[in-house]
Structure 1
Amino acid sequence: MKEGRIVVAGIGPGTVGMLTSDVREALMAADAVVGYTGYMQQIEAWIPEGVERYASGMTKEEERARLAFALALEGRIVVVVSSGDAGIYGMAPLMLELQAKEDAYKGIGMSVLPGISAFQVAAARLGAPVSHDFCVISLSDLMTPWRVIERRIEAAAAADFVTAVYNPASRGRYWQLHRLRELFMKSRPGSTPVGIARNAGRADETILRTTLEAFDPDTVDMFTVVLIGNASTFMSGERMITPRGYFSEERDRSVTVGQSIMIDSFRTIAGLMQRDDYPLDTRWAMIHTIHTTADFEFEDIFHASPGAIATWHRKLTAGGAVIVTDVSMVQSGLRKGALERYGITVYCYLSDPRVTQMAAAEGITRTQACMRIAAVEHPDALFVVGNAPTALTELADLMHRSSFSPMGVVGAPVGFVNVVESKLRLKAAAGSTPYVVIEGRKGGSSVAATIVNAAMSLDDAEAMKPGRDV
């Protein structure tokens, strides 16, 4: 009796053009072919006459596997077919696991032939969405507990993998894809491209393109593969493209190492923010703030009056502008290259002898005295407060009681006493004066300075290319 063996073969999407020559040769040499009824129908024309055919329905995978081993033990050459690639949610792992566990099967020769997987066909139809790191997740919980699947979904979303979704829905499983979308929306912008491929590679294929926010899970069935882009994936006409990095800033010799790190950091922050529909100037300053603090709560507590950052950019870059800070730490945090380039003068009055005299004479803090003097000498300045709530309170009171209307006010003092109140005063008193407030108790000198740095560098926001003055 001749020695039997098994070939586990991926037949691709089921069209002759996508069947590999190795798989075709295996079918021609087979004594028997075993597979799911639907797949057997797809390849019927490629199986030679006289070859035994064994087909069975869904959920009969183990039964088909044991039948294949039984036929091989009789000396047959058996081809076990799987749609797509046999090793991706196919028959290969089941066959190999059975052979590893059962002594009766260990002497049978077995090989695995690759096929074109559904996500590869879908990706090719869409363009090049999986050209960088990607993962594949099945939403079928028949053999994997949902808690495990959900944990994998969260990890893929947080790690910014391009993600292919297999078995996204069926008649009884309709809510899992809704949950996946919900989890991805926590880590990805709503504008993230999504590709939907039904029956990819077959005569009745349909290819749709949408975004994570607009994606409707109820339009998907079990014959569909869903591809979700990462933070850098974009649409160009009908093509969904995930850049490999050939045109990245790292290859631009004008970009320094420090700037390259900032670019990567800013793009990571942008990809992890809850929303991507902020006005460009506000978003730019918000990303700066999160970058400085490594604290994503600033997305919730950063509040800018409409167009504030854009207004400051226009006035600061026109030349000859003045910035007044409450403490020297804010002054030291401003980018020197930008200040020099735009001819901006920065004042901090704390060491001015008039400040000490006024504070003692009127029973106020030194930072209050600083603001009073500066408001008279530089009424058109941008006032930046990153430490002292009394300085911000003084500015708010000056705006409320008089015609004082500076270029703008950054209100970012930090602490526990009168901090929240000082920011509420500013918002109430500002009127038409542009302002930024870090709501609540958080803030600080570095935060106040980085907001101004964002205003000075707004030209770089569209290209997300910060750090020229690093």
Structure 2
Amino acid sequence: MRGKISVVGLGPGDESMMTPQVLEALNRADAIVGYSGYMKSIEHLIPPSVLKFSTGMTREMDRAEQAFAMAAEGRHVVVVSSGDAGIYGMAPLIIELYERGGHGDPEIEVLPGISAFQAASARIGAPISHDFCAISLSDLMTPWELIEKRIVAAASADFVTAVYNPKSRDRYWQLYRLRELFLQHRDPSTPVAIVRNATRVDEEIVVSTLGGFDPDVVDMFTVLIVGNSRSRIAGDFLLTPRGYFDQDENEGSYNVGATIMSGSFRTIASLMRRNDLDDDAKWAVMHTIHTTADFEMEKLFYASPGAIRHWHKILKGGGGEIVTDVTMVQSGIRKAALERYGIKVYCYLNDPRTAELAASEGLTRSQAGMRLAVKEHPGALYVVGNAPTALIELASILHRTPFAPMGVIGAPVGFVNVVESKHRLKAACGDTPIAVIEGRKGGSGIAATIVNAAFSLDEAAAMNPGRDV
């Protein structure tokens, strides 16, 4: 009589989460093989006539070989694992031994179970509702160098990540290293769920953050779930949205442009390295990177603390004005936002009075335009994306007079007086909020996109920069 081996997953611990298939296999078994801790948890389900074979931890090979020996005698042998037998369980070992030969020819089946990370996920909401992966930190059979490569890959690709075997008595530092690697790719505020003994009577759940959770509270009975760049706390739940609200609600179909934009911003967020940026400044940096595809913007961006948030509050309140140095900057600011909030944008470059003042005072037209603008719109947000002389003029007026605008964005581009103009602004600004693209880089598009970031700041959490904010 041909024997049979059923490799089954017992689920996360609560008997009600064991599948009917697995219960039936246990009831019909001639022999059951497993780790002693798992065997003890199901002993009340095992008929008295059934042979039992159990061992302690790390003796998986002994259990697998015993299962084949019993099956060679014509028995139906059930090999048990916790969770799902195919996820860090006994299924791969049984199949690999079968592949090697020399253990007879039993029928082999694998019966699925609910995995620990599925149970943990359900207990805290829906954190793995989008692309995810699982990583074990156990280096008993996998070199740590390979585990670390997988950690980096998961973190950089923005996968929601379930972490198995996070810690043991002798393996205490690996979880600290995982956090260090993730923080190179994820914001410290990324939600992290710590679920111990999921679904069992002594279950413990802690929701923390990547930067704030304590690795010392974790043990081998714990599964961690690290969210991706879109994961967030939603009331009592941890949620990773799939993108349903990226749809165009008016047409009932996906807004392709919005989906591409939000996807681009999520990608940028996952690749950024700076962890010292406040949320509003980070949102502005992401806009500059999106505009240029240049991640050096992350290093070059400087803003006064809270500057973007300050401008957001005033502009969306409808109480602000904007002055630009050139019409290209004016053209790059979102028209729908300007119209919705009644914001006027002024550019004096082609004003006839500008040419007259420039000729009479020996100024560039950009300088002359700023002098006129300061007199007529002293409380405006000044946005310079082209002319360093315009920024130098603003810095001089800030330094010499009580001029107190809403703020100044300094992003001229070029080689002559550009770097100096930005140094002047930073030295002269005082309490005036500013944003600067350091060095020679900048441009009209970058200057305008910083304004757009201020308009759309309330969409930052959803990574949805919008087009009509």
TM-score, normalisation: structure 2: 0.88
Aligned counterparts, 1:174-185, within 5 A = 174-185=172-183
Partner of 2:198: 200
Q: For residues 137 and 410 of structure 1, do their structure 2 counterparts lie closer, same or farther at Cα, with a shift above 3 Å needed?
A: same
Range with greater deviation from structure 2 (409-418 or 372-381): 372-381
Long gaps (5+) in structure 2 = none
1:157 is matched with which residue: 149, 152, 155?
155
Tell me which moved more, 57-66 or 88-97.
Answer: 57-66
Deviation at 1:21, TM superposition (A): 2.5
How big is the shift at 1:228?
1.6
Is 2:397 the counterpart of 1:398? yes
- Equivalent residues of 2:31, 2:52 under 8 A apart: yes
Instruction: State whether residues 13 and 200 of structure 1, in contact with CA within 8 Å, keep that contact through their aligned partners in structure 2.
Output: yes
Structure 2 counterpart of 1:53: 52
Q: What is the match of residue 441 of structure 1? A: 440
- Listed one character per residue, the Cα deviations across residues 238-260 of structure 1 (whole Å, up to 9, x for unaligned) are 432333444x1315227954344
Cα 1:323/1:127, change in 2 over 3 Å: closer
1:320-399 mapped onto 2 (5 Å cutoff): 322-351=321-350, 364-376=363-375, 378-399=377-398
Distance 2:153 2:458 in 1: 35
| Residues 14, 43 of structure 1: 8 Å contact kept | no
Equivalent residue, structure 2, for 1:31: 30
User: Which residue of 2 is the match for residue 110 of structure 1?
Assistant: 108
Q: Is 1:43 equivalent to 2:42 in the alignment?
A: yes
Secondary structure at the aligned position of 1:384 is classed as strand
The alpha-carbon deviation at position 174 of structure 1 amounts to 0.6
Shift of 1:393: 1.4
Cα distance in 2 for partners of 1:207, 1:28 equals 33
Point out the more displaced range, 379-388 or 268-277. 268-277
Which amino acid letter does the alignment assign opposite residue 107 of structure 1?
D
What secondary structure sits across from 1:79 in the alignment?
strand
Amino acid at match of 1:193: P
Q: C-alpha distance in 2, partners of 1:142/1:340? A: 62
The reply to whether residue 99 of structure 1 matches residue 70 of structure 2 is no
Aligned to 2:301: 302
Could you say what secondary structure the match of 1:209 adopts?
Answer: strand
Q: Aligned in 2, Cα 1:198/1:320: closer, same or farther, shift over 3 Å?
A: closer
Structure 1 distance, partners of 2:340, 2:202, is: 61
Using the alignment, how far apart are the partners of 1:198 and 1:315 within structure 2? 46
Which residues in structure 2 correspond to 1:166-177 (within 5 Å)?
166-177=164-175
Is contact 1:317–1:456 with CA below 8 Å preserved after alignment?
A: yes
Deviation of 1:422 (Å): 1.2
| Pair 1:222-2:255 in alignment | no
For residues 330-355 of structure 1, the C-alpha deviation after alignment (integer angstroms, 9 at most, x for no partner) is: 22212233344455444444445665
1:413 pairs with 2:400: no
1:88 lines up with 2:87 in the alignment: yes
Question: C-alpha distance in 2, partners of 1:318/1:125?
Answer: 41
**1:307-360 per-position Cα deviation (integer Å, ceiling 9, x unaligned):** 544554565567696533223322221223334445544444444566567656
CA contact (8 A) 2:381 2:408 kept: yes
SS at match of 2:141: coil
What secondary structure does 1:195 align onto?
strand
Whether contact under 8 Å (1:270, 1:276) holds in the other structure is: no
Q: Return the alpha-carbon distance in structure 2 between the equivalents of residues 463 and 142 of structure 1.
A: 40
1:426-464 deviation digits (Å, cap 9, x = unpaired): 122123333222223322111111122334455655765
Residues in 2 aligned to 1:22 and 1:337: alpha-carbon distance in whole angstroms: 58
- CA shift, 1:403, in A, is 4.2
Unaligned runs of 5+ in 1: none
Deviations 1:33-58 (A, max 9, x none): 22222222222222222322222222
Task: Measure, in 1, the Cα distance between the counterparts of 2:321 and 2:408.
Answer: 12
Query: What's 1:285 paired with?
Result: 284
Match of 1:451 in 2: 450
CA distance in 2, matches of 1:375, 1:462: 35
Q: Does the Cα contact within 8 Å between 2:72 and 2:104 map onto a contact in 1?
A: no
Task: Determine the C-alpha separation between the residues in 2 that align with 1:198 and 1:300.
Answer: 40
Report matched runs for 1:206-285 at 5 Å.
206-246=204-244, 248-253=245-250, 256-270=255-269, 273=272, 281-285=280-284
**Bigger Cα displacement from structure 2, 355-364 vs 211-220:** 355-364
Alpha-carbon shift at residue 170 of structure 1 (Å): 0.8
Q: Is 1:427 equivalent to 2:410 in the alignment?
A: no
**How high is the sequence identity, in percent, across the aligned residues?**
65
Note the aligned Cα RMSD (angstroms): 3.1
For 2:302 and 2:282, the matched residues in 1 are separated by 11
* Aligned counterparts of 1:59 and 1:124: Cα–Cα separation in 2: 29
Return the alpha-carbon distance in structure 1 between the equivalents of residues 311 and 103 of structure 2: 76
Q: Distance in 1 between matches of 2:246 and 2:380?
A: 35
Contact 2:156 2:270 in 1 (8 A): no
Shift of 1:381: 4.0
Opposite residue 246 of structure 2, the aligned amino acid is E
Report the TM-score, using the length of structure 1 for normalisation.
0.88
- Aligned counterparts of 1:243 and 1:289: Cα–Cα separation in 2: 25
Amino acid at match of 2:129: S
